[in-house]
Structures are given as structure tokens and as C-alpha cells.
């Protein structure tokens, strides 16, 4: 549970970074691109004594890790496009509800973990999905009649953007679980695989940044390097602790991912209320209450063992 709690805490720290970036005029896109080299340096620092990082291109997991790293960047871009064209509500729901994909793969495809789900556990899963939806729901102001053009723009192919966010987030989390099951047998290997993923993200991010600079869609902002440091260290550690949590629970993504997603939502909501005075709607409060209940139902066996 320690690794899972740390992953939740570090993931919320990432959200806090994004929350304060505009206040300090930090370019979010550039901070994200440059945060991956910081992630890599953090991973190198955590390598066990006497162990060096090498890339073995003959290994299947190397190419899977590269692909997953590219997937991280693509998912970010897709989320940005969906937020701009379909709104924050649709994108946030698609992101958080994507936990259904790795959970279903873990239960019915990978069949992982020593835990057998009972009726209460499955009920908790259902409530978790409902809780995530309610907790992230935001009322967006209706558009006026004079803004018919933006409303029309929401139609057509743009509708596929939140669906893409849902699928990409679900696919990356499922691939993380798959690689943890088949290619990460020990903590030492965890850092090696994670560093390889980060290299894929570095290459993809720098390519996209260069393209934007050449097209004059972006100008380099040195201030973004500060954001890269505050983002990169917790980014690597959050991913590393999540993988370690999956290992601790025998790759049981059906148990880990719901608790992780709900834990992030609960802690983020608490800190947002304390430090940023964000108000919760009635739906949000109901969702947070259901989230607590869902956590209890999903993990009642583990909680009973502790008691």
C-alpha cells in the first residue's frame, strides 16, 4: 500500500504543478517536453549501485517501452485538442473513465493477481466508475446564440477526440500492466524499463517541439525549464511507484487502478479546496462520497486483514 499511496501523492503533485504554471507564466507544453530529460536523470540517480543503464535493441520490451513513451506524448496532445474543441468536462471524463480498460484487461484477459473478486468487489468497481464521472463533472456555461459557430465545431470528427483520449489513456495503462507482468520481474528491471520508456517520450517530445519552433508556432521560453524540473522529478517517481505498486499486488490492475484513480481524485479535490478555494458541486460531493465507498468495497478483504 505504501507504493500506491506514494504514487497517488506524487500524481497529485503533478496536477498542482499544472495548476500553478499559468500563475508563473510557465509554458506548459515546453515544460512537459523538457520534463522527460529530467525524468531520465532522476531514473539514473535511482539506479542501484554498480548498475548502469543500457539499451538492448534485441529485446521485445525495449521496443514496447519506446512505443509506450511515444504514447505518453501523443496522449497529452490528444487531451489538449479534445479540451480545446470538446471542452474540459468531456475530456476529463474520458481520461478518468479510461480506468475501465486496464481493469477489464486485468480481470478477463491477463487474469492476474491472487485475489478473486466477489460481489462486493464488482459492486465497488461499478461505483468507482460512477464516482469518477460525478467527481470530475463540471457545469460549463451554455453558449449564446451568437456563438453558433463554436457549437457547430463540436460536431463531426471532433466527437472522436474524447473517445481517442479514453482509448489512449486506457491503452497506455493496460500496456504498463502488461509490461509489468511479462518484462519487469524485479525492482532493478523496473528502472531500466522505465528509463527506456522515458527515452521514447524524449525523442517524440523534442521532435514535436522542433517542428513547432520551425513553424513559428512556439518560441523557446527558458522559464519552462524550471517547470520541467518541478514536473519531471515527481513525474518519474509517480510512474515508478505505480509500477512498484502493481508488482506488490502481483500485477492486479483490477485492484490497483481503481484505487489509484479514485485516490488521486479525492486528494486533488481536498488540496484544491484548501489551497485554491475551488468549489465542489452537489454532483462532485456525491461522487467523492461514492469514491470512498468504492474504495472500501474494492479493498474490503485487504482492509479486513489489516484490522
pLDDT tens per residue across span 193-218 = 788 888 999 999 999 899 988 988 88
Position 34 confidence tier, pLDDT thresholds 50, 70, 90: very high
- The angle, 0 to 180 degrees and rounded to 10, between the axes of the packed helices 223-248 and 2-20 is 160
pLDDT of residue 20: 85
- Of 19, 156, 142, 165, the residue nearest 80 (C-alpha): 165
Whether 124 contacts 274, CB under 8 Å = no
Three cell numbers, residue 108: 478477463
Mean pLDDT computed over 54-83: 82
Q: What is the pLDDT of residue 263?
A: 84
Res 98: pLDDT: 80
Cell match 463531426: residue?
156
Higher-confidence residue of 290 and 86: namely 290
- pLDDT above 70: residue 138: no
Cβ-in-10-Å burial (0-12, 13-18, 19+) of 228 comes to buried
pTM across the whole model? 0.75
Whether the pLDDT of residue 67 is over 80: the answer is: yes
Q: Which of 6-15, 182-191, 260-269 has the lowest average pLDDT?
A: 182-191
Summarised one tens digit per residue, pLDDT across range 79-121 is 767 766 776 556 666 777 787 788 788 777 877 655 677 899 8
Mean per-residue pLDDT for 54-63? 84
Number of neighbouring beta carbons within 10 Å of residue 254: 27
Averaged pLDDT for residues 18-31: 86
**H/E element, 67:** helix 60-86
Average pLDDT over residues 150-171: 72
Separation between Cα atoms, residue 124 and residue 61, nearest integer Å: 33
Compute the chain's Rg from CA coordinates: 20
Residues 6+ apart with CB under 8 A from 125: 103, 117, 254, 258, 294, 298
Count of residues in the chain: 307
Kindly indicate the confidence band of residue 154, based on its pLDDT and cuts at 50, 70 and 90. very low
Mean pLDDT of the chain: 80
User: Confidence band (pLDDT; 50, 70, 90) for 277?
Assistant: confident
Amino acid at each position: 500500500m505504501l507504493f500506491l499511496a506514494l504514487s497517488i501523492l506524487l500524481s497529485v503533485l503533478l496536477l498542482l504543478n499544472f495548476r500553478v504554471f499559468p500563475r508563473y507564466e510557465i509554458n506548459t507544453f515546453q515544460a512537459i517536453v523538457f520534463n522527460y530529460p529530467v525524468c531520465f536523470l532522476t531514473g539514473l540517480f535511482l539506479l542501484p549501485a554498480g548498475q548502469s543503464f543500457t539499451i538492448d535493441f534485441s529485446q521485445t520490451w525495449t521496443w514496447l517501452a519506446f512505443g509506450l513513451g511515444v504514447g505518453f506524448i501523443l496522449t497529452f496532445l490528444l487531451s489538449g485538442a479534445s479540451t480545446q474543441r470538446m471542452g474540459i468536462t468531456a475530456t476529463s471524463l474520458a481520461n478518468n473513465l479510461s480506468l475501465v480498460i486496464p481493469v477489464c484487461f486485468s480481470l478477463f484477459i491477463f487474469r492476474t493477481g491472487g485475489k478473486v473478486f466477489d460481489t462486493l468487489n464488482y459492486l465497488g468497481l461499478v461505483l468507482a466508475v460512477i464516482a469518477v464521472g460525478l467527481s470530475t463533472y463540471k457545469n460549463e456555461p451554455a453558449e449564446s446564440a451568437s456563438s453558433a459557430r463554436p457549437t457547430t465545431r463540436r460536431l463531426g470528427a471532433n466527437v472522436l477526440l474524447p473517445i481517442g483520449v479514453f482509448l489512449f489513456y486506457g491503452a497506455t495503462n493496460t500496456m504498463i500492466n502488461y509490461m509489468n507482468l511479462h518484462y519487469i520481474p524485479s525492482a532493478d528491471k523496473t528502472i531500466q524499463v522505465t528509463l527506456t520508456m522515458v527515452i521514447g517520450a524524449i525523442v517524440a517530445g523534442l521532435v514535436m517541439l522542433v517542428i513547432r519552433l520551425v513553424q513559428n508556432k512556439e518560441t523557446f521560453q527558458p522559464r519552462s525549464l524550471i517547470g520541467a524540473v518541478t514536473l519531471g522529478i515527481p513525474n518519474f517517481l509517480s510512474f515508478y511507484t505505480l509500477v512498484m505498486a502493481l508488482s506488490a499486488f502481483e500485477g492486479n490492475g483490477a485492484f490497483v487502478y481503481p484505487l489509484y484513480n479514485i485516490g488521486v481524485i479525492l486528494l486533488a479535490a481536498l488540496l484544491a479546496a484548501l489551497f485554491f478555494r475551488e468549489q465542489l458541486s452537489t454532483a462532485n460531493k456525491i461522487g467523492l462520497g461514492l469514491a470512498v465507498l468504492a474504495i472500501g468495497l474494492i479493498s474490503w478483504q485487504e482492509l479486513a486483514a489489516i484490522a
